[in-house]
């Protein structure tokens, strides 16, 4: 695990409620492609269910991070792509199961018209820094 510094409220910026404004560290940069709510066989998990899809997405992120020798403790940035901002509470709940509030990464949330297939409600990508 790398040593990361989180700055939730840099001078002149309003404090962040659900993310850190700045996260920095030294080590190996790891980029995790956007993860969808697919199980290990490529089957959709949770059709029409934002909470079920969010749980699967974060499980897929966990597995992808592990493949790089990383954990959620190493994540410096999450980007959420959602078809409806109403899905954000489900994403926050799934994230909370993996990342405590005192270790929140930087984050961006973007509402999109659609994802690669219409049944996907969200996609989440991650960037991490792993200790050298």
The answer, yes or no, to whether residue 109 has pLDDT greater than 70, is: yes
The confidence score (pLDDT) of residue 38 equals 98
The confidence score (pLDDT) of residue 103 equals 92
The confidence score (pLDDT) of residue 53 equals 98
* Residues paired with residue 5 on neighbouring β-strands, in sequence order: 24
Q: What is the pTM assigned to this prediction? A: 0.92
pLDDT per position as a tens digit, 1-50:
568 888 988 999 998 888 999 998 899 999 999 999 999 999 999 999 99
Beta pairing, strands 4-7 & 122-130: unpaired
The confidence score (pLDDT) of residue 24 equals 87
The answer, yes or no, to whether residue 107 has pLDDT greater than 70, is: yes
pLDDT per position as a tens digit, 71-91:
999 999 999 999 999 999 999
Task: Tell me the three-class secondary structure of 38-107, residue by residue.
Answer: ECCCCCECCCCCHHHHHHHHHHHHHHHHHHCCCCHHHEEEEEEEECCHHHHHHHHHHHHCCCCHHHCCEE
- Name the token pair of 4: 């990361």
């Amino acid at each position: 695990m790398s040593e990361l510094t989180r700055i939730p409220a840099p001078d002149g910026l309003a404090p962040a409620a659900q993310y850190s404004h700045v996260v920095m560290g030294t080590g190996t940069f790891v980029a995790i492609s956007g993860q969808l709510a697919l199980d290990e066989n490529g089957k959709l998990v949770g059709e029409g269910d934002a909470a079920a899809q969010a749980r699967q997405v974060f499980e897929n992120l966990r597995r992808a991070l592990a493949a790089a020798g990383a954990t959620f403790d190493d994540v410096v940035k999450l980007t959420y792509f959602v078809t409806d901002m109403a899905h954000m509470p489900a994403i926050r709940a799934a994230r909370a199961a993996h990342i405590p509030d005192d270790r929140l990464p930087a984050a961006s949330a973007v509402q999109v018209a659609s994802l690669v297939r219409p049944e996907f409600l969200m996609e989440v990508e991650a960037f991490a820094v792993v200790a050298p």
